[in-house]
Amino acid sequence: MELPYVVVIILFYLGIYTIIMNKNLIKIVVGVNIVESSLILLLILISFKLGGTAPILDRKYELVVDPIPQALALTAIVIGGSLIAVMLALVIKIYKRYGTLNVDEIRKLRG
């Protein structure tokens, strides 16, 4: 088991832990961001081959890394940015309505 895969697992579950246990809404968005980053890192790690070059074939090459996971990672990064923008807009909306960012207090106020 190599170290980078262990780092991916630790980052993923650190993000999940933040989403479950933290009370602040902005911290929850930070957790979502960390989960996304760990999954992108996993895609890039899958595409890597030892001794390979980047998938830009402008001269002679011997071994090229896998281009399909890199395209997926590009897609995931862009979609993640717009997703975080929507989540933060919802956070601002919630703050304007309830006056707090604490999840427990929001749940109390609603009931």
Partner 1 sequence: MSRVHKIFRKFYKIGLVLFLAIFLLFIFDEIQNLDIKRYLSEHYISEGVQETGAINLVTSVLYDYRGFDTLGEATVILTAAATLSFMTPIKKVKMLGTEFTIIIYQTIIIIIPFLVVLGMNLIFFGHISPGGGFVGGVILAMIPILVTINYGITFSENKLKPNHKSLLEGIGAIGFILLGLLGIFAGSNFLASGQANFGLGNPGELISAGLIPYLNLMIGIKVGAGLAAIFNSLIKEG
Partner 2 sequence: MTGGKVVIYVILNMLMIFLLFTAFFAVFTKNLLNSIITLAIFSAILIVIFVILQAPDAALAEAVIGAGLTLTFFVITINKTKDWQNE
Task: Please state the closest distance from residue 58 (CB atom) to partner 2, in A.
Answer: 13
Residue with tokens 């604490």: 102
Residue with tokens 């989540």: 87
What type of residue sits at position 48? F
DSSP 64: B
DSSP 99: S
Count of residues of this chain found to bind partner 1 when the rule CB under 8 A is applied: 40
Measured from the CB atom, is 77 or 109 closer to partner 2? Answer: 77
Task: Please state the closest distance from residue 95 (CB atom) to partner 1, in A.
Answer: 7
98 half-sphere exposure, CB direction, 13 A CA radius: 19
| Interaction residues for partner 1, span 43-82 (CB under 8 A) | 46, 54-58, 64, 66-68, 70-71, 74-75, 78-79, 81-82
Measured from the CB atom, is 71 or 109 closer to partner 2? Answer: 71
Task: Please state the closest distance from residue 111 (CB atom) to partner 2, in A.
Answer: 21
